Every structure is written in structure tokens, then in C-alpha cells.
Structure 1
């Protein structure tokens, strides 16, 4: 019997370029493998014990003789490599068309509508690193009060503002305004609030980030679980990614370790259903900033916390660990990478040392969750529960 699924997404922890990576400019990407190579190895004994090093195509990790978990690598079926596309596919939404991106900044009709709605001009309007753009334009923003609006290779409209110039509440309202404007052909996946503090030369982003995502186009496994009176407990930015749909309760987090803490808190509450966690530091703090060393240390730090999670689990719990895309910090540029993602599953109700091979859509995870709880299946994906569950 399985009463609860603990589903942890290590944001951007990919494991090798997908066959169509050339289309995205990502040939050679391998987030785990290239980090391990650059650092002379990674110490991830606990995830290796579950089978991480045994996954087909994995590089730079140790293979163990008898992993205690089930393991696989997953391809993304949807067209894209962003956070929303990856998470939505896991939960049952196949995105046939990529969300719009703006390599030359946002067009005049978007700029005019946004500036008119907020009563201020915006500065920047270009793709940029979040830390670099506040270093470049933070002082001008403080002097003028005009918000910094920027994007990236991802489908995002990001608004950066100093918390003492534009309050966090006002920034959120600006994001809601932008979200209402960015529809139709300009329906970006996420509008993101990026507040910061500090003085010129020493600006620092705060933990008050918030994502304003598109509403999912149809029910996901989260909605289905909720409709069946099961708990859906969201940790980190999961609530934002799904625009609150299908979530019964949520907690936002300051960093990866806080995310692990909050996941453990939910485990201790012993509520039946799904705990869905996103650990974003791998992507936001290290992948996009090409910080190879910090990324490696972050992986090792999560691995060191994994025994706490396993110890806290009940016999009726199972654990999924996966990722939503890659963000190889060793590659040129600072964007996500089109990669396979690793998958690990563990629990007393599951078999050990089961190699699920290569799965062709992230939706297999969500379909398996639906079958675990004997609820309506999602629209995409194939469950692998029969391959991993003990009789």
C-alpha cells in the first residue's frame, strides 16, 4: 500500500544532451557529467546507493552493484527546455509549441501597454543575467524609480526592483499587470518578480522572488488528486509553476536547504497524498551563473541531506527524485540545456535495483502517481508502477 508520494525536482540537474539538442544549440551539454569532470568527481554516495550512477548514459558517477532504488532517464517530449514546460509535462501536459521568447527584447505593443498600465517607463528590455542586469542598471533604477524589465533565452518577463524603491507588494502587482497583458501570441510561460536590496556595487537579490505562470490548459495530476480529496503539498515554486491549480497547501522557500527542511516538515505531518518539491538553487544560483564549483557543492549538500528524508519516510511512502531540464554551467552562455533528466524511486513498497531504461516522456511520472492513488489517469504518459511495485 502506498499512501504518499514525495516528489523532489532538482531544478536543472540534467544528465546529457537529448537527440534533438542540436535544434536548441545544446550539443555537448551534460550537467552532471560535465560538472563531475570539471571538479575531478562528485561525492554523491546516497543518490548512487539509490542507483543514480547506474542510469543509462550517466557520466562521472559511481555504479553500485545492487542499488536499493529504481532508476531511469527521461526524455522530454514537449518542445522546449524551460521550467514550466518540464513540470507541466511531468504532471500530464504535452506542450506541442514552445512558449514565446524575446532575444531582441519585448515589442513596442507590449512595452507601451505595460508602461501605460503601471504609469512608469521601464528600463533594459533585453535578455540578461539577473545579477548582471541589476549591477548594470540598479543605480539608474534607484534614481528614477523605473523598473528593470528583462528576459532570457527562456520564455520569461522578469521585473527587477529595489525593495526600498518599489515595495515587494507593488512589484507583485506590476507582475500581475504584466501577466494580464502577456496573452495570445505574447503568452510567456512566466512573469517573475526579482526584488533586490543593497547599494550600488553591492546589490543582492532577495528571497522574495515570485513566479506568475500561465494557467495550465487542462487538469494535471495535481488537479485530479485534489478532486479526489487527496493532499497536494507544494514546496518551493511548485505553486507558482501551476498557478496554484491543484495545490491544497503550499510553502515557499529561501534556498535548497530550506526546501529540504519544509519537505521534511510535510513528511512529519503524515497527510495522505503528494508532497511536490522544487529545489531551485541548482538552476537559479549556479546553473545560470556558470558557477560550476557551487553547483557541485550544492549537489553534494542535497545528497548529504538525503538520509534524513529516507529515515523520515513511512513504510507507505515512496520517493521520486528527478529534474525538469538541464542547465550545464560548463557550457557557453547561461541558458537551460535540452537534456535527459535522471529519475530515482525508492520506498518499502517498491522493488530494488529496477532499471527502467530510457522513458520517452516526463508524463510517465505523473501517470504513475495517478495509478498509485487509483485516480483518473492523466492525458499523457504511461505508468511504470507494475514494473516497480512489490506484489
Structure 2
């Protein structure tokens, strides 16, 4: 039996599989991202995830199950307060939050905006909770004329800054976002400041792939820090570097979309690294969940599934693949926000057993605890490792 020397951890952003027991506290009763997409759009064609056992996960009775299941499977509950990207990823990495990041459903206070304007030397437009595509339709022309920044938020803990790339160059927008990130601390420590650049003309503005997230720095060490401290690689693909504010990362590459994220993951898999390749595929959430596009979400799941054989065939004998999610974002509900849901966990590797049901895990941090066991790191995370349940016994 080979020892596991590398974990490829892929987060399918927002691919939830059914409401959590406390979903009512978040207004999410009835949310089931994957299940409701099937109800709305018909069967999802994901044979490769089916071979890993997604159809055998507790609570899932709407996906096919092949005769032979080659992976381990289960679902995980979130114990941290909140249902945002930062909270979900941090819990996956072993960090629980006892309090949610602040939200601003009525926009930001005058004190915050006055300070922001003084530090950046630019005025502000909008200041409300809104859809990113709608906000640039409404305020884009005025922004182009005045140079004022479009500042808005959502149900999440975010301070979003939209600007036309020809009015505010990308690097300048990133600098402005860093000013906001440094400013928003203490009781106003939002989870993320997000750069939202766009291009085009009035009536035809389009957001670009140059989005950048400036996250709050993790309040304690995560499994990423501990793997890095052990001298191993922690490679961040997509917005992972932003989510962890570069903490615990040894190398990073941002991506343009899901398929580019798979391409970059494969590129790193072909290199001689040891440790973690940590990938976020954001299109499910950003392009389809938040826009209530169930058909697009379904197609995105099928597109990822078609790439899964490439990922599996590129795996070394000492690799472990973990596929999971960070929250839900049910595109079939009236809400365009994240939903408080269980997330799937699927595993494949040449050193692990097949067709093992991991059940319902009490916390996303079971992944951090498992990775700690894999790399011989002291497991002081508030999670339960499933390493011994999946690993093949030495002969």
C-alpha cells in the first residue's frame, strides 16, 4: 500500500445537498441545491460522480447509483455561524466561527463611507444590497461620467466595489480594495472586500474575470498553515488564496472559470509536489446559484463531471482526491443568496477503500482532521478524522 503524500481538495462552490437542521434560522427551509435542480430540470447526467457514490449519500434518492461504486461518500454539516464562502472554507480547513461576519442589508453607515471616500479620494454611488449585474446597469453610466465607485453589498458579509476597467484600472481597483480591507476591521470586519471590474458601454456593461476577493485573515492557524509548516506544498487554485488572505499558502494561481480551474489543477497535479492542491470552482455559485439559473447550474455540474476522468487518470498512486462544497445556493428558490445546507464529500484514491459510507459528518472540519492524520500532524482541530475508515490496511 502506498502512503498518501498529496491531497487534491476541490470545492464545488455552493453545491449543497439539502437543508441543515437549523436552516429555518437562516430562512432556508426547503433549500436543496442539487435536489431541487433535478426537480426543476430533470435528471443530471453525472456518471463519474455517481461512480464515486454521490447517489448513495444520505438524503439523496434522486441520482443514479452504478453497480460498482469506486469511491467513499458522505455529507457534512456546518457548525460555524453563517453560510458564506469564507465561513465554509475556513471550517473545511479546521477553523470554526462562533459568530457570523457582520452584514449590511440597508447599506453601509455614513461613518464607513466617509472614511472610505477620504482614504481613496473618490466618491461613492449606490450603497445598497443588490445584484452585481443589476447594480452596474443602474449606476454604470454615472460611474463612467463621474469616476465615483459603485459600492454595494448582499446578504453575505461583503463590501463590493464595482468599477469600469477604463475608468479605474485593475491595479488601482485592487489598491482601493486593499484600503477598504485594511479599514474594515473590528466590529465592521466584513468577510470579504470584492473587486468587481466591468467593461462595455451604457446598456451593455459586462463584468470581467478580473474579480478579486480580499478576505479577512483567518483568526487562527488552519490545516493549510500546519501543512506548510511541515515543509509541504499548499497550492491554491482559484479564489482559495483570497479566501485565506494568502495565509498558509505556498503557491497560488487565480482562474477565470470552472474549466480553467480544472486545467490549472491538472497542471499542478502533473508536477512533483507533495502536500495539498486546494481548488475552488466558483461558477456554480457566481454564475448560476446567485442568478437563479437552474438549467445553467445543471449544465455546469455536467461539465465538471465530464472532466473528472481527466483528474482521476492524472492521479498518482499516492494521491487522495476529495470533492466537497462550502454551502448551498439553491437556484430554484426566490432567494438569490446562499443557503444553509449539507455539503457532499466524495473521495477517490488508490490507497483507500471503495464503497465506504462516511455518513453525516458533524462538521466540515472532519476534512482538516483527516488531512492532519494523513500527514502526521497533531490533530487539534474540532473535527473527527475519517482516515482510519477509508485507508487500506497494510498487507
> TM-score, normalising length from structure 2?
0.98
Matched-pair contact (CA < 8 Å) for 1:168–1:195:
yes
Match of 1:350 in 2: 352
- RMSD (Å), alpha carbons: 0.8
| 133, 136, 159: which one aligns with 2:135 | 133
SS at match of 2:236: strand
Q: Is the 8 A contact 1:192 1:211 kept in 2?
A: yes
Q: Secondary structure at the match of 1:269?
A: coil
Identify the residue that residue 198 of structure 1 maps to in structure 2.
200
CA contact (8 A) 1:150 1:159 kept: yes
1:72 paired to 2:74:
yes
Q: Deviations over 1:328-383 (max 9, x none)?
A: 00011210000000010110100000001000100000110111011122432111
For the Cα contact (< 8 Å) 1:182–1:188, is it kept in 2?
yes
Aligned partners of 1:238 and 1:278 also within 8 Å: yes
336, 339, 347: which one aligns with 2:338: 336
2:253 maps to which residue? 251
Residue 254 of structure 1 deviates from its aligned partner by 0.3
Query: What's the counterpart of residue 305 of structure 2?
Result: 303
CA contact (8 A) 2:368 2:381 kept: no
Aligned ranges 1:42-81 → 2 under 5 Å? 42-81=44-83
In structure 1, C-alpha distance between the alignment counterparts of 2:63 and 2:311, rounded to whole Å: 22
Within-5 A mapping of 1:207-218: 207-218=209-220
1:270 offset after TM fit, Å?
A: 2.6
Q: Are the aligned partners of 2:257 and 2:281 in contact in 1 as well (CA < 8 Å)?
A: yes
The answer to whether the Cα contact below 8 Å between 1:221 and 1:378 also exists between their aligned partners in 2 is: no
1:136 Cα shift?
1.1
- For 1:101 and 1:261, how far apart are their aligned partners in 2? 35
Q: 1:235 and 1:59 mapped to 2: Cα distance?
A: 32
1: CA distance between counterparts of 2:343 and 2:61? 13
Do the aligned partners of 1:220 and 1:378 also contact (CA within 8 Å) in 2? no
Which deviates more from structure 2 when the two are superposed, residues 333-342 or residues 55-64? 55-64
Give me the whole-angstrom Cα distance separating, in 1, the residues matched to 2:61 and 2:148: 46
User: 1:60 Cα deviation (Å)?
Assistant: 2.6
Counterpart Cα distance in 2 of 1:336 and 1:53? 23
The alpha-carbon distance between structure 1 residues 378 and 160, as it changes in their structure 2 partners (threshold 3 A), is farther
Unaligned runs of 5+ in 1: none
Distance 1:81 1:64 in 2: 32
Distance in 2, matches of 1:378 and 1:284, equals: 33
Structure 2 distance, partners of 1:63, 1:310, is 19
Distance 2:260 2:341 in 1: 27
Residues 150-299 of structure 1: matches in 2 within 5 Å?
150-299=152-301
Q: CA–CA distance in 2 between the matches of 1:321 and 1:378?
A: 23
Taking the aligned partners of 2:42 and 2:224, their CA distance within structure 1 comes to: 40
Report deviation, 1:59.
Answer: 4.3
Task: Give the whole-Å Cα distance in 1 for the aligned partners of 2:378 and 2:243.
Answer: 22
- Pick from 18, 28, 31 the counterpart of residue 29 of structure 1: 31
Q: Name which of 364, 367, 370 aligns with 1:365.
A: 367
* Structure 2 residues not aligned, in runs of 5+: none
